[in-house]
Amino acid sequence: MLALSGAARAQNVPVAGLSAAQLAVVINDDEPNSVELGEYYQKARNIPAANMVHVRIPHRPRKLDADQFDALKAQIDARLGPDIQAVLMVWTAPYAVECNSLTSAYTLGLDSGLCAKSCAPSKPSSYFNSASAKPYTDYRMRLSMLLPTDSVEASKALIDRGVLAGFAVPTATAYFLKTSDAARSSRARFFPRSMTVPSRKLTIKTLEADSIEQAGDIIVYETGLSQVPKLNTLKFLPGALADHLTSYGGDLLAEGGQMSSLRWLDAGATASYGTVSEPCNHWQKFPNSTVLLGQYLRGNTAIEAYWKSVAWPAQGVFVGEPLAAPYRH
């Protein structure tokens, strides 16, 4: 088990973290919202013009096959120089490639063999809990994340939250909930103990509860349920990370019996994570809470902290604003 004491000590060792110059932004020219939001993001984050990549993905499919994915990846990679460490794809769909997520297929390579038994262990990530500030340089992994585009207004607000997160360290609380759903609480063993981290003005609350309500200072919220109640009563601080362990949170547009990870962003979080195919409840396929919090407190960006926190990320899609870093300074 990881101890928060190590993560708390680590937060006193600052990291450089990714910069706008190291991020490529990929726009789908066949989707007007993608074009508008890509341009908005470029201005908001001062992304160099050379880092803007344009592709065409007609009809917004939710899932790509291997050939479609290979063609898309080739288009993107042809435009990227060696200094690009991460990629933001400005669209909601596609978000899956066969049984893999699009973000993980792009970053790690497509693992088609997993689809025969998606509950099996998947390939481990060498970037898990890494100290690296340059994933492509060190691991040949370009981190990737999706910026959803279904609502231009909501996505601009999401971008603004990410930018705002860099201006001041907030007085905040991180919530970790072990719920009555035992199967979806498999990662509770890694929840940090309740404590305070004065140097980061942070309170950690680890609770046995199915929900919180009327909280107005959330910087991290992790739980395990198929549907998370009372989100409309909460206030997330700029840069907040939030996710729930369930099988299909990353099936972003399905909206069946399980809550989409996009609902966290709708509620005010800045980044989230969910799996696109049945992962069973291996804790390694979901963010490890101690690693996520410890890496974020060290000053990592949202995309770095989330990617570093998942040991087996093949099925998981990362969504949100990648450069949010409330603890950078």
Dump pLDDT digits (tens) for 260-281.
999 999 999 999 999 999 999 9
30 and 118, same domain (yes or no): yes
Is residue 321 situated within a structural domain?
no
Query: Do 99 and 199 have their domain in common?
Result: no
- Do residue 79 and residue 176 come from a single domain? no
What is the model's pLDDT at position 15?
57
Q: What is the pLDDT of residue 65?
A: 98
Cβ atoms of 105 and 115 closer than 8 Å = no
Can you tell me the distance from the alpha carbon of 278 to that of 294, in angstroms, rounded to the nearest whole number? Answer: 28
Report residue 9's pLDDT band, with 50, 70 and 90 as the boundaries: very low
Are 207 and 182 found together in one domain? yes
Q: Output b/e per residue, 274-308; b: 16+ Cβ within 10 A.
A: bbbbebebbbbbbbbbbbbbbbbbbbbbbbbbbbb
Is 102 contained in some domain? yes
Is the domain of 141 the same as that of 180? no
Q: How far apart are CA 63 and CA 251, in angstroms?
A: 10
- Per the CB < 8 A criterion, the answer to whether 281 and 100 are in contact is no
Residues 181 and 117 in one domain: no
Q: Are residues 139 and 77 in the same domain?
A: yes
User: Quick one: pLDDT at residue 8?
Assistant: 41
Same domain, 213 and 253: yes
Both tokens of residue 236?
A: 């997330």
For the cut 90, the answer to whether the pLDDT of residue 244 exceeds it is yes
Do 177 and 281 belong to one domain? yes
Domain tally for the chain? Answer: 2
**Is residue 329 very low, low, confident or very high in pLDDT (cuts 50, 70, 90)?**
confident
CB 301 within 8 A of CB 322: yes
In the numeric block, the tokens 């509950």 are attached to 119
Considering the domain boundaries, does residue 119 fall inside one? yes
Range of the domain at 66: 20-146
Same domain, 28 and 118: yes
pTM of the model: 0.95
pLDDT digits (tens, 9 = 90+) for 66-87: 999 999 999 999 999 999 999 9
Q: Left if phi > 0, otherwise alpha if psi is -120 to 50, otherwise beta: which for 127?
A: alpha
DSSP string, 123-141: PPPTTTT---S-HHHHHS-
Is the pLDDT reported for residue 16 higher than 90?
no
Is 193 found in the same domain as 84? no
Does 28 fall in a domain? yes
pLDDT digits (tens, 9 = 90+) for 289-327: 999 999 999 999 999 999 999 999 999 999 999 999 999
- Asked if residue 161 is part of any domain, the answer here is no
Instruction: Flag whether pLDDT at 2 surpasses 90.
Output: no
Who has greater pLDDT, 267 or 7? 267
Q: How confident is the model at residue 256 (pLDDT cuts 50, 70, 90)?
A: confident
Average pLDDT over residues 151-155: 98
Instruction: Say if residue 24 is in the same domain as residue 100.
Output: yes
